[in-house]
Chain A
Amino acid sequence: MLTLTCPCCGVTVEETELAPGGEAHLKRFGPGSSDEEFETYMFARKNPKGVHFERWRHAYGCGKWFLTARCTATLEVFGSYPAQTTEPPAELIAKIKEKRPGWEGYK
């Protein structure tokens, strides 16, 4: 069972209260972009075995979106943070690097 802490209401909840939103930190390519850019934005996902940044919505709770970092192989959760950001917080990245020395970074 995956449990995540919602940074918007501060409560730690299990995954049945949440709705998954896929990979976080995608850059949107909309009107005016090239076909390749749009295709990549639309379909190409990292799908890593290991550290993954994700969007989740506290659907049955406060209703807000937030972001998390977790390991897809072990389900270890590194942390969650508000969605109003374009990149993960520095302290979270430092924490992940400490736990996963071989990690290639979030980009």
Chain B
Amino acid sequence: MSKAVSALNGQSHTGFATVTEAGLKGMVTLRADLDSKALAKGLKALGLKVPAQRAIVTEGARSVAWMSPDELLVLCGYEEAAQVTADLEQALAKEHALVTNVSDARAMFTVSGAKGDEVLMKLCPIDFETLEAGEMRRSRAAQVAAAVWRSGPEELSVICFRSVAGYMMGLLEVSSRKGGEIY
């Protein structure tokens, strides 16, 4: 098998905040009836649970985020994504559901630093004052779709399509340049 590489190979830039392409990440998208018992069981086997509306819950190295009323995104290690997909498929075999390993179709970024919010404030129509820890906010960054959440103290994470990873890094790099702080 060929060697897997992330969209931008971990490229990083530091201005008034640090923006980094997060490297290979496992992502499994899941469309199903979110109230289904089989889904709850399948997630429980991974150490996760069905998140509430717009929530992202993290247990150890795995997270699961609410993406829409019938869609979740499981974040896990890149290497284990295929197995996680197979396990969830098995758990939902009798349900009207779709489980897909989208790890290679997406790119993930982190924006870290005390002024990290200000990098994204210029790009996304999100009210960062009210964006709480544990909330997954789907929106856009300039002209592309993006999902944003607080992944740690003074750290935000961003997911976008892999095909626009270069564009996203361009946005983040320019927006985080010194002198571009808002406050």
Contacts and interface: CB of A to CB of B under 8 A. Distances in A.
Interface of A: 8-11, 13-14, 16-17, 60-64
23 contacts: A8-B68, A8-B69, A9-B53, A9-B68, A10-B53, A10-B54, A11-B54, A13-B139, A14-B125, A17-B125, A17-B139, A60-B140, A60-B145, A61-B68, A61-B138, A61-B139, A62-B67, A62-B68, A62-B69, A62-B71, A62-B138, A63-B71, A64-B69
Nearest to B67: A62
A10 to B, nearest CB: 6
Interface of B: 53-54, 67-69, 71, 125, 137-140, 145
Main secondary structure of the interface of A (DSSP, over half): loop
A94 B130 CA distance: 31
B34 to A, nearest CB: 12
B139 A9 contact: no
B112 to A, nearest CB: 24
Contact of A11 (B69, B137, B140): B137
A63 B68 contact: yes
